[in-house]
Amino acid sequence: MSSNKNLTGWQRFMQMMTKANELGKEDEIMTDHNYDGIKELDNVLPPWWKYGFYITIIIAIYYTFQVFYNPENYNQKMEYEAEVKQSKIELEAYKKANPELFKTDIKLLTDATSLEAGKKAYNTFCVACHMADGGGGIGPNLTDDKWILGGGMEIIFHTISEGGRPGKGMVAWKSSINLEQRQQISSFVVSLQGTTPANPKAAEGDITWSKQ
């Protein structure tokens, strides 16, 4: 071994934690074992490994004591119940922050006022791609019974809210159009089912749906 006087503080620390033998001095720890010319060195276990092993034993003893001899302070049932309680708190906070994701009363509106409001919003946001009569342009025909993502109030509302197929141009409107308007637009689109547009685009979807 080199004299400790010639080593830095870090080198002395590493030497203490590894007990590594210096290169070129393997003869000092060479054993008599010989396997086809391959000789074995009698290296010691590194102190850092032994210390880590001792620490795991101490932790295991502490954990065992806590679980079996002190169950009122800690046990798996209590841990589970605490995590469930925390999860419920986080879920409620998420629901409050994202109310539309958990709204379950999305229903078809059929009254004249709602449909007129839906038509007005449709002409603002949707007419460029689907035409005023729903016959389709850049976007698909909304009057036939063939749908790409599926028809029906809930699916149409979801498509308007979350957007269409990736890369096809239909954006998610939930950040631009409020919940009430999206519901009105969806209801108006449903009302277009079975009507006859001036220049209908050929059917594109594989899903057959009719409001009847």
Do 153 and 131 lie in one domain? The reply is yes
pLDDT at 116 over 90: yes
Q: What does the alpha-carbon distance between residue 46 and residue 142 come to, in Å, rounded to a whole number?
A: 73
Q: Is residue 49 part of a domain?
A: no
Q: Is residue 141 part of a domain?
A: yes
Do 66 and 93 lie in one domain? The reply is yes
Chain segment 36-79, per-residue pLDDT in tens: 778 777 777 888 888 899 999 999 988 888 777 776 666 777 88
Is residue 17 very low, low, confident or very high in pLDDT (cuts 50, 70, 90)? Answer: confident
Domain residues for the domain of 61 are 54-97
Q: Is residue 176 part of a domain?
A: yes
Phi, psi of 20 (to 5 degrees): -70, 140
Do 92 and 141 lie in one domain? The reply is no
Do 145 and 185 lie in one domain? The reply is yes
Note the pTM of the prediction, 2 decimals. 0.54
Do 161 and 122 lie in one domain? The reply is yes
DSSP H or E stretch at residue 79? helix 76-97
In sign, the C-alpha dihedral spanning 192, 198, 201, 202 is positive
Average pLDDT over residues 190-204: 92
